[in-house]
């Protein structure tokens, strides 16, 4: 076995051997149960491979320092444009999409499933009332989605990414 195929667990220092078969870099120590990254030998969280650490889920080595910094700077500089684009698309999609979805769902009989027992007038009234109700509710859902989603994305980009740039 080569030296790069055997490493120490970051928690208990037990020897861990990775078979060089192209498998993922998420390792589990059988001695202490520690989940760690094979590339950086740090204990990992659920978002370790999504973070700008340079560790890839598949692959044999981390990104170079230059590539990591360029990626992080791209995220920091491009985030306002991407976040505003996502929010700009989400607002009309949610505001218009929910009433259309509700109208189609009620018309198809998916919500009440009593479609056959309703007269034409009652069916028209139920579709109209569901669309009108969703027209009042969808802006609230839109405001909550954008009001929570945008700050979360900004916190991630300007919190996590900027902190990792400083390391």
Distance CA 128, CA 99 (A): 10
Q: Whose CA is closest to 26, among 80, 101, 65, 50?
A: 50
Is residue 92 very low, low, confident or very high in pLDDT (cuts 50, 70, 90)? very high
| Domain-wise residue ranges, the chain | 3-50, 65-166
Q: Whose CA is closest to 90, among 50, 145, 20?
A: 145
Q: Give the model's pLDDT for residue 74.
A: 84
Q: Give the model's pLDDT for residue 143.
A: 93
Is residue 93 very low, low, confident or very high in pLDDT (cuts 50, 70, 90)? very high
Higher per-residue pLDDT: 23 or 78: 78
Q: Give the model's pLDDT for residue 3.
A: 55
Q: Give the model's pLDDT for residue 23.
A: 77
In contact, 113 and 126? CB cutoff 8 Å? no
- 109-133 confidence digits (pLDDT tens): 755 555 557 777 888 888 899 999 9
- In the beta sheet, which residues pair with residue 43? 36
Whether pTM > 0.85 for this model: the answer is no
What's the Cα-to-Cα distance from 61 to each of 41, 53, 54, 65, 101, rounded to whole Å? 12, 12, 9, 12, 46
- 28-78 confidence digits (pLDDT tens): 999 999 999 988 888 887 777 776 667 777 777 777 888 878 887 888 888
Q: Give the model's pLDDT for residue 167.
A: 57
Q: Write out the H or E segment, with its range, that includes residue 27.
A: strand 26-28
| Dihedrals phi, psi of 52, to nearest 5 degrees | -80, 40
Which is catalytic among the residues 12, 24, 32, 124? 24
Annotated catalytic residue 24? yes
- For the chain, the average pLDDT equals 83
């Amino acid at each position: 076995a080569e030296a790069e195929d055997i490493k120490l667990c970051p928690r208990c220092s037990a020897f861990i051997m990775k078979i060089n078969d192209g498998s993922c870099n998420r390792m589990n120590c059988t001695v202490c149960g520690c989940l760690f990254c094979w590339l950086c030998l740090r204990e990992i969280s659920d978002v370790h491979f999504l973070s700008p650490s340079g560790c890839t889920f598949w692959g044999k080595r981390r990104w170079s320092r230059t590539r990591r910094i360029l990626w992080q700077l791209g995220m920091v500089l491009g985030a306002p444009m991407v976040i505003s684009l996502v929010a700009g698309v989400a607002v009309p999609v949610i505001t218009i999409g929910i009433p259309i979805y509700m109208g189609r769902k009620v018309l198809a009989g998916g919500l009440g499933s009593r479609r056959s027992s309703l007269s034409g007038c009652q069916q028209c009234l139920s579709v109209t009332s569901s669309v009108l109700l969703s027209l009042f509710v969808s802006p609230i859902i839109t405001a909550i989605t954008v009001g929570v989603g945008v700050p979360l994305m900004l916190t991630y980009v300007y919190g996590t990414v900027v902190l990792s740039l400083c390391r």
